[in-house]
Amino acid sequence: MHKILERYRAAGPLLGKKEAQMYQLLCELSGKDHPVLVNQDLNSLVTPAVNQWERHSGWQQMHQHISGHKVSFVICDTVWQPICGLIFIDIDKNEQVDSVVVQALKCAGLPLLTLYSYQHYTAEALASEIAQQIQALSS
């Protein structure tokens, strides 16, 4: 049997220029008490709400359904519990809103904001929008 020579190279930056700018803005808003995570797998934020070990529960299908989907940014609380997800849509890359992410976070009761690269966000406006989304789910 022939052994395959494993070769890798660095993938490059985790964030593009516009995403990096948004990340900086979110970090300014959230401060030290609310860390901002980047490009999180959806299945690290939500999990199927059925017993994984129960036969025919559908857990495996639900888990596969959310696997491979990403959330651009996640704001956490002091114990790293997600409190808000943000999808950043860069129109220059023809990105679109991921309906699987939207539905899964809505079902799990986690606020989600969609931000677009063509819009200019001020820190105040973004902070207000995030607060409104979180309050809306708390009511």
User: What is the spatial distance between Cα 39 and Cα 14, in angstroms, rounded to a whole number?
Assistant: 8
Instruction: Give mean pLDDT, residues 86-95.
Output: 88
Model confidence at 101: pLDDT above 90? yes
User: What is the spatial distance between Cα 96 and Cα 21, in angstroms, rounded to a whole number?
Assistant: 19
Model confidence at 93: pLDDT above 70? yes
Question: What pLDDT does residue 122 have?
Answer: 86
Model confidence at 137: pLDDT above 80? no
- pTM score over 0.75: yes
Q: Please give the mean pLDDT across all residues of the chain.
A: 88
Residues in CB range of 1: below 8 A, 6 or more apart: none
Q: For residue range 51-88, list pLDDT tens digits in order.
A: 778 888 888 889 899 999 999 999 999 999 999 999 99
Cβ burial of 102 (10 Å; 0-12, 13-18, 19+) is middle
Predicted confidence band at 138 (pLDDT cuts at 50, 70, 90)?
low
Question: Residue 95 region, left (φ>0) first, then alpha (ψ -120 to 50), else beta?
Answer: beta
Question: What pLDDT does residue 1 have?
Answer: 65
Q: Which domains does the chain have, with CATH numbers?
A: 17-48+61-138 (3.40.1350)
